[in-house]
Structure 1
């Protein structure tokens, strides 16, 4: 029983690290993967670098999207599209004002 009590603080520390750091990161990655898979032609998006555009074409072969902007068409990886910024862009005006 004494040996178990020595390791109890270490075990609790690993549980806390898992619950507050590892698990939320895994859930976020899962949401981002689902978001990238659900992209479709015509969606308005914002890239992680801040480019506002509309999806013109999706290339499954290259895992890329062709974005249409006022300057022309650009090709980006699906992973470069920001989940948070794109959701804010497409959210109704009431939701955005309530979030502030």
Structure 2
């Protein structure tokens, strides 16, 4: 015969146990660590900065909303703000849609006595 008979070989990794499991899980753990530092952590930092920005919004600030509307804050309520976008034109918006504060307004009581 010109063709030799092939016999099955026994699996070599069946006796290792713990080391094989560690080798199999290492890439998954590494991927999670990379995702944490490249995606999750920066997003949490950005959310914290945005939350601080929203808490600092007060009357007189010029803000930019997520829709691109630029206006002056006329009134701040719990979850909403009233923007004056033109003289006599006021709109109510959710406070969370504010993306940027362009100029900070004067404190409310500064010019009251003058």
**Superposition TM-score, scaled by structure 1 size:** 0.77
Q: Which residue of 2 aligns with 1:98?
A: none
CA RMSD of aligned residues (A): 1.6
**Superposition TM-score, scaled by structure 2 size:** 0.68
Mapped to 2, the partners of 1:37 and 1:25 lie a distance apart of: 18
| 3-state SS in 1 of match to 2:67 | coil
Mapped to 2, the partners of 1:52 and 1:18 lie a distance apart of: 35
What is the 5 A alignment of 1:17-96? 17-60=35-78, 63-70=79-86, 72-83=89-100, 86=101, 89-90=102-103
**Any gaps of 5 or more consecutive residues in structure 2?**
1-18, 104-114
Q: May I ask how many residue pairs the two structures share in their alignment?
A: 85
Runs in 1 of length 4+ with deviation above 2 angstroms? none
Higher helix share: 1
> For residues 35-81 of structure 1, what are the alpha-carbon distances to aligned partners after superposition, in whole Å with 9 as ceiling and x for unaligned?
11110110010111111101000012xx1000112151111000111
